[in-house]
Amino acid sequence: MAVDDSGVSRDVYTAFWEQFLELCEGEEERVPKLRPDFSKERTVRIGNHGNALVFLLPMEEPYVNFLSINQKCPLQKMSPIKDVVDVTPKVKAMALADRAMFDKGMRAFVSYVQAYAKHECSLIFRVKDLDFVSLAKGFALLRLPKMPELKGKTFPDFVETTVDTDSIRYKDKNRQKQRQKMLAEQKNKEKTELPKKNFVKNKAWSKQKTKKERKKKRGAKRKHDEDSDMDEEYMKELLEDTRLLKKLKKGQISEEDFEQQLTNSKQEAGGP
């Protein structure tokens, strides 16, 4: 066992984590990001060069300017690929033949939708703008998953498979054996559970519940109004940054003026 009497290890670890946190962004969760002062060689893996591809819907194009201005990360438009082979039927066949493939498609769909729901740029990436049918077809889903974002919605254009998806087995025998064991335990648990009691609502409790519901609705309305104000401020800041960027591209202002005006606008908006 080694003893660090002089505290060298502690200082090294402290410096490492301080530098690491500087490379992160986010309020509730710290997520590593590419900083503007990073060279290309530092942003690739093991010295290998590469590119990242971002798929955007037509209404999400303002995100291009947002990345260019706020993250110093310019994007280049990619031309559509011609003669694309439709592999959806093949992927669906793979999902029917192996539950592992079926699970991957379902998890990917859920992760994609939740990424929209939790994105910090909620003004640009909105769950209500998603085409769930096209998205499900793109992930070659056999059926739609049960999730809050789809609750109460109907999708007549999406045709589910006639196969009972619960009957799809894992090709991996160990995983299939484990699943069968889990299903058997769940079935036994349902049998041993006591039946739920039917409570009769009395008048006083009903009134109390109605009062709570009214209070909950008022709170939700207040939160919606606050979020609307925040969205308007964010949109104004985004439009102002875009306006400055256009001036810079047209040569109406210098890069020094652009940086100065951008800094001033963020300070006026209450930013760092």
Q: Which pLDDT does position 169 carry in this prediction?
A: 95
Arithmetic mean of pLDDT, 119-139: 90
User: What pTM does this model have?
Assistant: 0.54
The answer to whether residues 44 and 53 touch, using CB atoms and an 8 Å cutoff, is: no
Report the alpha-carbon distance of residue 167 to residue 144 in Å, rounded: 16
Arithmetic mean of pLDDT, 62-68: 88
3-state SS track over 7-28? CHHHHHHHHHHHHHHHCEECCC
Report the alpha-carbon distance of residue 112 to residue 2 in Å, rounded: 47
Report the alpha-carbon distance of residue 33 to residue 51 in Å, rounded: 15
Arithmetic mean of pLDDT, 8-22: 67
Q: Which pLDDT does position 102 carry in this prediction?
A: 95
Report the alpha-carbon distance of residue 98 to residue 176 in Å, rounded: 10
Q: Name the DSSP letter for residue 32.
A: E
Q: Which pLDDT does position 207 carry in this prediction?
A: 60
Q: Name the DSSP letter for residue 207.
A: H
Q: What is the pLDDT of residues 143-197, one digit of tens each?
A: 999 999 998 999 999 999 999 999 999 999 999 999 999 999 888 888 787 666 6
**What is the percent of the chain with per-residue pLDDT over 70, rounded to a whole number?**
67
Q: Which pLDDT does position 212 carry in this prediction?
A: 76
Arithmetic mean of pLDDT, 80-101: 91
Arithmetic mean of pLDDT, 5-30: 63
First to last CA, the chain: 45
